[in-house]
Amino acid sequence: MESSSDKSGPLAGLKVFELGIAIAAPNCGKKLASYGADVFKVESLGNLDVVRLLGSAWAKDDPDKSRILPDTSPYVPEMNAGKYSVGIDLKNEEGLKVALELLAQCDVFLSNISAAALVRLGLDYEAVKQINPNIIYTQLPGFGSDPELPYYRSLAWGPNQSPLVGLDSLTGFAEDPPAGVATTAPPDYMSSLHALVAILAGLEHRDKTGRGVHVDLSQFEATISLLGPFLLELDVNGHEQGRIGNASIWGAPQGVYPSCEPERWIAITADDADSWQSLQKLASPCLDNDLFLTQQDRVENAQVLDQILSEWTSNFSSDDLTVRLQSAGVAAHIVATNEDILNDSHVMNSDFYKIAPSTRLGRDLFSGSAIRLSDAPSRVRNAAPALGEDTREVLEKFIDIDPEKFKELLAAGSIFEMAEPDLTFKRPWDDWIHILIPGSEDARDVL
């Protein structure tokens, strides 16, 4: 496990002012932090990030722990590891002043709250530009920042974005209602990734021109960009792509097949000639059938093919068959449950999950970055900050706030600090985590 206290990195020195809720902006800020940026997550008690409200199962029913609930959800580090939490009431005049002073020192502004809310707070681009003309101002609300547009005031958060951008109607078997994308929120992540592309491009732009930029990202538009081939198809061929279950649009077979165990499935893709041959050989003689001679035959007879393949896969355990198929050169994987991921030694030995110190929890566990740089491993200063944990440090260090002034602002409620700093708890897994996460004992050393 890498030392997580090393503060260098490719983005060292970059300062980011984040006003983020849930996933889209926070996930982007988390990635910037993991490559060395100082990311200031500005949080208000009156309008807490939804991940602060979720809490954790083990803390919810315990009155002792209810006071620290905002620091306990595993989503907090998932979206906010490595950041500073700065407690400022932005609706308070003095609070806003402090925020603007901090913002004046920053390279990047990052927010996914609604464009109308940013205007109300006085943190829209035109306002921020006045105090920081060269800022890379990045906003990624649902529908962009133009108040003249039809959906400007529409409510579409989290679970509503996938249906809106067309992903839910593409999900499911043709004969069923749309199954929807319930477990994850692709529009949030895809918008987050596009925002990161824009911010990093903004740094190049600033190097070249000396000027900042206003990045106006509509989650609606960014996600639909990924559906380009289908929209092009509708326009030029008049064909509308609908939901087709797990089938491939390029060949057959592809699907989710049963194993000999209940509710244990195997996903298989053999939609090109080479992998078909390998599959046919492995399953011989089940698939030696005149119905499946050419690619076109297999597509036309996909239903029969899936039926025969299902009968064959039902003879095997899911793990065993996955290994047999991959060894033969056929793309396959068990349809992993969350327990399977814990037992996936490839993942668990890859250092994808990170452990870092946490003021509230001693140490905490969270997903790392899917971007592995050979000369700049992602590393973070801490897991997630407790709510308001870094208010004093950040304001002293970055805007040189006077201690008297700090006290005044605190007393007036314009800013706030971490509640109950001495109250610490361990997560339920803390005593035996080293059994599960290779190298995790080392995290004790950096506490």
Partner 1 sequence: MTQPYSGLRILDLTGIAGAYGTRLFASLGAEVIKLEPAGGSPLRQLEPFLENAPDKERSLWWNYLAMGSKSVVVDPMSRRESLQALIQSCDVIFDDQLPEVSKLSDFNISPKTIRVSVTPFGLNGSKRSWKSSNLIAWAASGVLYTTGFVDRPPVAPGGPAQLILHGTALNAIIGAQIALRMRKLTGLGQNVDISMQEVGLSMAPEMGVPMLLDDRVHRERTGNRRDLGRPFGLYPCADGYVSIVVLMPQHWEATAKWIHEETDNDTILDDVFRDPSVRTETKELLDAWVEELTMKKSRLELFEEGQSRGIPITPVNTISALANDRHLAASGYWETVELPTGESAKIPGAPFRTNQNWWESARAPFLGEHTNEFID
| Binding to partner 1 in span 334-373, by CB under 8 A | 334-342, 344-350, 352-353, 364-367, 369-373
Alpha-carbon 348 to chain mean position: 19
Using CB under 8 A, pick the residue from 46, 61, 133, 236 that binds partner 1: 236
Q: Which is nearer to partner 1, 326 or 408 (CB)?
A: 326
94-113: contacts with partner 1 (CB under 8 A):
none
Place of tokens 């538009």: 221
Q: Which is nearer to partner 1, 16 or 409 (CB)?
A: 16
Q: Let me know how long the chain is.
A: 447
Q: Which is nearer to partner 1, 53 or 412 (CB)?
A: 53
Using CB under 8 A, pick the residue from 65, 205, 324, 434 that binds partner 1: 205
State whether residue 108 is helix, strand or coil. Answer: strand
Residue 53 touches partner 1, criterion: CB under 8 A:
no
Using CB under 8 A, pick the residue from 227, 286, 399, 410 that binds partner 1: 227
Question: Among candidates 273, 130, 314, 150, which has minimal Cα distance to 218?
Answer: 150
State whether residue 219 is helix, strand or coil. Answer: helix
β-pair type (38-43, 84-88): parallel
Using CB under 8 A, pick the residue from 230, 312, 406, 419 that binds partner 1: 230
Place of tokens 């000639």: 273
| Min CB(93)–partner 1 separation in Å | 27
Choose one: 62-70, 111-119, 181-189, 409-417; the region binding partner 1 (CB under 8 A).
181-189
Alpha-carbon 51 to chain mean position: 13
Q: Which is nearer to partner 1, 366 or 416 (CB)?
A: 366
Binding mask 69-98 for partner 1 (x = CB under 8 A): -----xx-xxx-------------------
**Residues whose CB is less than 8 angstroms from the CB of residue 253 and which lie 6 or more positions away in sequence, other chains included:** 268, 270, 271, 276, 279, 298, 302, 305, 306, 309
Q: Which is nearer to partner 1, 173 or 281 (CB)?
A: 173
| Min CB(109)–partner 1 separation in Å | 14
Say how many residues touch partner 1, by CB under 8 A: 154
116-155: contacts with partner 1 (CB under 8 A):
140, 143-144, 146, 148-151, 153-155
Q: Which is nearer to partner 1, 204 or 400 (CB)?
A: 204
278-317: contacts with partner 1 (CB under 8 A):
none
* 353, 380 Cβ separation under 8 angstroms: no
Structure tokens at 397: 């260090």
**Residues whose CB is less than 8 angstroms from the CB of residue 436 and which lie 6 or more positions away in sequence, other chains included:** 342, 348, 429
Q: Positive or negative, the Cα torsion across 46, 49, 53, 58?
A: negative
Residue 438 touches partner 1, criterion: CB under 8 A:
no
Residue 221 touches partner 1, criterion: CB under 8 A:
yes
- DSSP one-letter code for 155: -
Q: Which residues pair with 332 in a beta bridge?
A: 268
